[in-house]
């Protein structure tokens, strides 16, 4: 079971090994913002690629979109975000700290200073970031940073449907940044004000909405399991009616058991025809589908699985993290930290390790690295003992280490070590790409 202590260890590992850094760190950091370092950017890209592959590449009923972050302000009026995308905010009169009213403990005590019944009345605080487009900062120039990527899909419904000639049921997938002025960001990359979403809007005939809602709940659960989240750490939780967003008649969260308890990883919502109808009314454009076979025109219902790329990355990191005792080769044991990441998500797929910096080994190691590079993200590490180098790769989840030793000079083979089992196999250099291709799913 993950503990808060484990969270600290993962955050430390992320900092120490270049996965995630506090943003603007040389200025003391900036309010729960984070930067993905050289290994983190690979990990998050792999998470997004895994999502895109399963949603778009492997299906013929879903197409992609990359819409602008800045959209006409009318979009947010029509979508209901200007009026209702708010959190109830209270201040503690004693310590002046701010909280979300719906996140306060039942005891009525301030979580910061412990003062009893010290909160102000709840005020509704809109989560959208406001900015100005152009040089004049007046009401006519106001624009918002999108708080969800979904609206870019809804306003492009007719463009996409007519150009792709898809018929319901069909979907549109999008990955991109969203922004929310969260009152209480925190827990590392779990809740931030700037984050990436992976959202898919699946347009269906209204009568089929319940079926597709169930389908996507199961399909999305399966995706997380397939990429290595253990079943015991995942659950599907249907929302109570009072929890539902203003646009939804049914929502379920895929929840992960984070070190602080169960938390939302992904939401799957039945958004009905709410968004298309609102935009049709507000823009005066027709956003319907004409079903020729049945000679009827309708506004499709929408089933939406929406996952945060950062939150998913955190869950994969936590689920993969392990500290274990292993034999140290001297009759005792030592600790090894290992990320058992699914190889598809691992930032580096293989590390080439020349046994020493000997002048006869270096050129062969470089040649092997050069042969692997077009196929996989690889690393070359020649500093420190081989044992230390294995540990360095283990803790960032590299599935395979390829050791080049003096025998390589004669037998033209290398030792390939498996991260999880730590077993080693001798593989001919000529067959190395094929061997790794077979081990690494894609
Ligand atoms: N379009 C629907 C929608 O945006 P949501 O439940 O508000 O629904 C979907 O967000 C997912 O986006 C969440 O399940 C979570 O993974 C991610 N997410 C939402 N707010 C976030 C935040 N402040 N920081 C990081 N991820 C966030």
Question: Can you name the residues that pair with 291 across neighbouring β-strands?
Answer: 296
pLDDT at 89: 93
**How many angstroms separate the alpha carbon of residue 306 from the centre of ligand 1?**
7
Taking 60 as the threshold, does the pLDDT of residue 192 lie above it? yes
Cβ(404) to ligand 1 under 6 A? no
CB 436 within 8 A of CB 352: no
Cβ(308) to ligand 1 under 6 A? yes
Taking 70 as the threshold, does the pLDDT of residue 219 lie above it? yes
CB 427 within 8 A of CB 435: yes
Residue whose CA is at the smallest distance from ligand 1 atom 27 = 308
Q: What is the mean pLDDT of residues 191-207?
A: 98
Cβ(197) to ligand 1 under 6 A? yes
Q: Determine which of 1-5, 315-319, 359-363 has the lowest per-residue pLDDT on average.
A: 1-5
Cβ(405) to ligand 1 under 6 A? no
Cβ(148) to ligand 1 under 6 A? yes
Q: What is the mean pLDDT of residues 284-291?
A: 97
> What percentage of the chain reaches a pLDDT higher than 70?
99
Cβ(220) to ligand 1 under 6 A? no
Cβ(149) to ligand 1 under 6 A? no
What angle (nearest 5°) sits at the alpha carbon of residue 307, between those of residues 302 and 311? 165
Taking 90 as the threshold, does the pLDDT of residue 314 lie above it? yes
> What percentage of the chain reaches a pLDDT higher than 90?
94
HSE (side-chain half, CA atoms, 13 Å) at 12: 8
Would you place residue 245 in the very low, low, confident or very high pLDDT band (cuts 50, 70, 90)?
Answer: confident
Taking 80 as the threshold, does the pLDDT of residue 1 lie above it? no
**How many angstroms separate the alpha carbon of residue 271 from the centre of ligand 1?**
15
Cβ(196) to ligand 1 under 6 A? no
Cβ(306) to ligand 1 under 6 A? yes
pLDDT at 105: 86
Q: Please identify, by atom number, the ligand 1 atom nearest to the C-alpha of residue 189.
A: 25
- Provide φ and ψ at 103, rounded to 5°: -110, 5
The structure tokens listed for 221 are: 């659960």
Taking 70 as the threshold, does the pLDDT of residue 159 lie above it? yes
Cβ(195) to ligand 1 under 6 A? yes
Residue whose CA is at the smallest distance from ligand 1 atom 19 = 308
Cβ(191) to ligand 1 under 6 A? yes
Burial 12-27 (b: 16+ CB within 10 A, else e): ebbeebbbbebbeeee
Q: How would DSSP label each residue in 193-206?
A: SEEEEEEEEEEE-G
Would you place residue 113 in the very low, low, confident or very high pLDDT band (cuts 50, 70, 90)?
Answer: very high
**How many angstroms separate the alpha carbon of residue 90 from the centre of ligand 1?**
22
pLDDT tens, residue by residue, 78-94: 999 999 999 999 999 99
Residue whose CA is at the smallest distance from ligand 1 atom 15 = 308
Pocket of ligand 1, candidates 69, 306, 307: which has the most ligand atoms within 8 Å of its Cβ, to mutate? Answer: 306
Taking 80 as the threshold, does the pLDDT of residue 34 lie above it? yes
**How many angstroms separate the alpha carbon of residue 433 from the centre of ligand 1?**
39
CB 96 within 8 A of CB 120: no
Pocket of ligand 1, candidates 183, 188, 197, 237: which has the most ligand atoms within 8 Å of its Cβ, to mutate? Answer: 197
pLDDT at 247: 87
The whole-chain average pLDDT of the chain stands at 96
**How many angstroms separate the alpha carbon of residue 197 from the centre of ligand 1?**
7
Taking 60 as the threshold, does the pLDDT of residue 2 lie above it? no
CB 238 within 8 A of CB 250: yes
Q: What is the mean pLDDT of residues 15-29?
A: 97
Higher pLDDT, 1 or 360: 360
Q: What is the mean pLDDT of residues 51-60?
A: 98
> Tokens 């760190």 identify what position?
25
Pocket of ligand 1, candidates 67, 308, 309: which has the most ligand atoms within 8 Å of its Cβ, to mutate? Answer: 308
Q: Determine which of 54-58, 92-96, 245-249 has the lowest per-residue pLDDT on average.
A: 245-249
Residue whose CA is at the smallest distance from ligand 1 atom 2 = 306
Cβ(146) to ligand 1 under 6 A? no
Q: What is the pTM of this model?
A: 0.96
pLDDT tens, residue by residue, 396-425: 999 999 999 999 999 999 999 999 999 999
CB 425 within 8 A of CB 409: no
CB 321 within 8 A of CB 258: no
pLDDT at 106: 87
Q: What is the mean pLDDT of residues 172-178?
A: 98
């Amino acid at each position: 079971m993950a503990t808060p202590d484990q969270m600290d260890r993962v955050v430390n590992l992320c900092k120490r090994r270049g996965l995630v850094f506090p943003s603007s760190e040389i200025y003391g950091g900036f309010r729960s913002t984070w930067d993905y370092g050289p290994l983190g950017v690979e990990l998050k890209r792999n998470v997004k690629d895994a999502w895109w592959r399963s949603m778009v590449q492997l299906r013929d009923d879903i197409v992609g979109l990359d819409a602008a972050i800045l959209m006409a302000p009318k979009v947010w009026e029509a979508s209901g975000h200007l009026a209702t995308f708010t959190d109830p905010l209270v201040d503690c009169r004693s310590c002046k700290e701010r909280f979300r009213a719906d996140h306060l403990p039942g005891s009525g005590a301030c979580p910061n200073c412990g003062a009893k019944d010290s909160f102000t009345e709840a005020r509704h605080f809109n989560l959208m970031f406001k900015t100005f487009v152009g040089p004049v900062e007046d009401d006519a120039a106001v624009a918002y940073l999108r708080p969800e990527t979904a609206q870019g899909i809804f306003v492009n419904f007719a463009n996409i449907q007519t150009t792709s000639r898809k018929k319901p049921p069909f979907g549109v997938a999008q990955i991109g940044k969203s922004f929310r002025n969260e009152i209480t960001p925190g827990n590392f990359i779990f809740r931030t004000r700037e984050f990436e979403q992976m959202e898919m809007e699946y347009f269906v005939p209204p009568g089929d909405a319940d079926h597709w809602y169930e389908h996507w709940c199961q399909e999305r659960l399966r995706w997380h399991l397939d990429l290595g989240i253990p079943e015991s750490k995942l659950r599907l939780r249907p929302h109570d009616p009072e929890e539902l967003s203003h646009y939804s008649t049914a929502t379920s969260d895929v929840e992960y058991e984070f070190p602080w308890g169960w938390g939302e990883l992904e939401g799957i919502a039945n958004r009905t025809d709410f968004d298309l109808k609102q935009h049709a009314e507000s823009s005066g454009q027709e956003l319907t589908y004409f079903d020729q076979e049945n000679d009827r025109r309708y506004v499709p219902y929408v089933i939406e699985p929406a996952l945060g790329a950062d939150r998913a990355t955190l869950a994969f990191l936590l689920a993969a993290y392990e500290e274990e005792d292993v034999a140290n080769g001297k009759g005792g044991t030592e600790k090894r930290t290992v990320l058992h990441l699914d190889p598809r998500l691992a930032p580096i797929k293989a590390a080439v390790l020349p046994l020493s910096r000997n002048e006869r080994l270096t050129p062969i190691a470089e040649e092997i690295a050069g042969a692997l590079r077009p196929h996989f993200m690889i690393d070359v590490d020649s500093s420190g003992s081989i044992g230390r180098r294995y540990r360095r790769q283990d803790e960032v989840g590299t599935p395979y280490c390829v050791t080049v030793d003096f025998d390589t000079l004669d037998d033209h083979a290398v030792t390939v070590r498996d991260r999880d089992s730590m077993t080693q196999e001798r593989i001919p250099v000529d067959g190395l790409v094929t061997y790794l291709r077979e081990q690494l799913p894609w």
